[in-house]
A and B are shown apart, each in its own frame.
Chain A
């Protein structure tokens, strides 16, 4: 599949934003995070900044962005529509919570409910994003049980790593559950990523050119002539092949920068002073953010669509 920059930026940036919102909501409701105005302002600016940048960049993928408002209408059947509804709906509690955090400086009572709604909205949005891909049977690599946990965990850890950096930036000590939970979450995400790649590499093909054409017993159908001499939309969009040559190398980049390096940093953070923790957590955040972009690029570039069976592929 064609790895469109607009969609890669959308899913990774909004993923980090919703991950951060989720942790702010949960941590806020549990009273684990500082209620200082400066921290609140910075945290919500960053989270909503990531989310908004992601949503805006997704509009660049559209042929008619002026009709994007119509995407709120088909939530009964379409995961993309559900995602749009969830994304916009999450702004309400998130902005309210940001207001409570920075103006009221109080996260007790009804604010706790707003905080929980923010966390719920953030998780729901990322879930819907993942389901857009998970539900497409024509792309077997995406139609996998690992797609949803992968999206959720990557959003959670990218949000978490930015939250750690923000806490150190404002001279706060990260709460113990975050400090101890992050390495476990990174390991879980690493595990899911590895499982997703293993499945993609080893799974038996779901369909063949024989099934796509109904001609002949297995192994006997070959494309003789393509239907057109020049490229077309189908080939550009769904028969992307350039990335696969470098896939092994890019997977190593993903592993090191998304999981290994941030995990190592996460493990030493409880034992170092703030002067070390601040640059270390920034390095972890930047490294993971880059790694997730590479991971998402591979998610698209390595995925094969069943339409390629009509253009020379033997099995998908």
Chain B
């Protein structure tokens, strides 16, 4: 059913999504690669590519890492911006679906596609302002981030592994996963403390996922760090080599 769950149905339900720390993300793309890896081999796989080993490979990915520059001169910085589904509370991709393939779960807020029902019209991808949905080039059905639903509830896995693949793999610890409806959760605490925000809210999507902004470094701290002087006083061993060779 592509009607969104009613507030009564959502009452008491979780709001699972990702929290991404833009201050610590180093733009290594490991999250995107592990996302592809898990989702091409997991329950929803394969997540296909066309011309995978050719000159112009192209395929469906559920997580993409963009790189932006912001600010000017000393205040300027590079910010890596991983982007995947925000599991919106008012997901426009769900309500436009004509076949019933797209739906939002009442119990945890995850937005999913039932691929056996998808006719591949692509309207949901048009409706998403964020570009979170991509058509699988071979299966011709819509793909999107499932929040690794086949990991997070998977009792075959160790409890420590029951998190989305992107979160598990992030070497910088920039990705968090949790329940935004629970004020006591780690993600809710981080959002409160660090000013977590959602993007393009004017689209009326009410995204669940949040970003933590890059921390602002005051100019004084930046100026206080003096560039190290080049040194030409070698250590004892190098000084001996230097003398030997100069002789």
A residues at B contact (CB < 8 Å): 1, 61-65, 67-68, 70-71, 73-74, 76-81, 84, 132, 135-139, 206-207, 209, 211-216, 220-228, 230-234, 237-238, 305-307, 309-310
Q: List 30 A-B contacts (CB under 8 A).
A: A62-B120, A62-B121, A63-B135, A64-B119, A64-B120, A67-B119, A67-B120, A70-B117, A71-B121, A74-B3, A76-B2, A77-B96, A78-B96, A135-B96, A136-B96, A138-B127, A212-B199, A214-B213, A215-B68, A222-B68, A224-B68, A224-B78, A227-B67, A230-B57, A233-B60, A234-B125, A238-B131, A306-B203, A309-B200, A310-B131
The B62-95 residues at the A interface (CB cut-off 8 A) are 64-72, 78-79, 81, 83, 92, 94-95
Asked whether A64 lies within 8 Å of B141 as measured between CB atoms, the reply is yes
Asked whether A228 lies within 8 Å of B126 as measured between CB atoms, the reply is no
Asked whether A228 lies within 8 Å of B61 as measured between CB atoms, the reply is yes
Asked whether B126 lies within 8 Å of A238 as measured between CB atoms, the reply is yes
In the complex formed, the residue of B with least CB distance to A83 is B98
Chain A residues lying within 8 Å of B123, measured Cβ to Cβ, are: 80, 132
CA distance A214 to B139 in the complex (A): 34
Asked whether B125 lies within 8 Å of A67 as measured between CB atoms, the reply is no
Asked whether B125 lies within 8 Å of A238 as measured between CB atoms, the reply is yes
Q: Which of A71, A84, A213 contacts B199 (CB 8 A)?
A: A213
Asked whether B200 lies within 8 Å of A77 as measured between CB atoms, the reply is no
Smallest beta-carbon distance A198→chain B, Å: 23
Asked whether B126 lies within 8 Å of A74 as measured between CB atoms, the reply is no
CA distance A233 to B72 in the complex (A): 33
Is B122 interfacial (CB 8 A cutoff)? yes
Asked whether B121 lies within 8 Å of A80 as measured between CB atoms, the reply is yes
CA distance A194 to B203 in the complex (A): 26
Smallest beta-carbon distance A306→chain B, Å: 4
| B-side interface residues, number (CB < 8 Å) | 65
Q: Which of B57, B66, B71, B197 contacts A310 (CB 8 A)?
A: B66
Chain A residues lying within 8 Å of B81, measured Cβ to Cβ, are: 213, 215, 310
Beyond A77-B94, A212-B199: 16 further Cβ-contacts under 8 Å? A62-B120, A64-B140, A65-B119, A81-B99, A138-B92, A138-B128, A207-B202, A212-B200, A216-B71, A223-B68, A223-B69, A227-B64, A228-B64, A233-B60, A237-B122, A310-B130
Is B161 interfacial (CB 8 A cutoff)? no
Is B173 interfacial (CB 8 A cutoff)? no
Asked whether A214 lies within 8 Å of B199 as measured between CB atoms, the reply is yes
CA distance A139 to B61 in the complex (A): 23
In the complex formed, the residue of B with least CB distance to A72 is B98
Asked whether B119 lies within 8 Å of A71 as measured between CB atoms, the reply is yes
Chain B residues lying within 8 Å of A226, measured Cβ to Cβ, are: 66
Q: Which of A81, A214, A228 contacts B211 (CB 8 A)?
A: A214
CA distance A20 to B126 in the complex (A): 30
Top 7 closest A-B pairs, CB basis? A63-B120, A63-B140, A307-B131, A81-B98, A70-B99, A227-B64, A225-B67
Is B100 interfacial (CB 8 A cutoff)? yes
Chain B residues lying within 8 Å of A81, measured Cβ to Cβ, are: 98-99
Asked whether A80 lies within 8 Å of B68 as measured between CB atoms, the reply is no
Report which residue of A74, A212, A231 has the largest number of chain B beta carbons within 10 angstroms of its beta carbon: A74
Asked whether A74 lies within 8 Å of B202 as measured between CB atoms, the reply is no
In the complex formed, the residue of A with least CB distance to B121 is A62
CA distance A261 to B133 in the complex (A): 43
Asked whether B67 lies within 8 Å of A64 as measured between CB atoms, the reply is no
Query: Given A63-B140, A222-B68: A84 and B98 within 8 A (CB)?
Result: yes
Smallest beta-carbon distance A206→chain B, Å: 7
Chain A residues lying within 8 Å of B200, measured Cβ to Cβ, are: 207, 211-212, 306, 309
Report which residue of A63, A80, A213, A220 has the largest number of chain B beta carbons within 10 angstroms of its beta carbon: A63
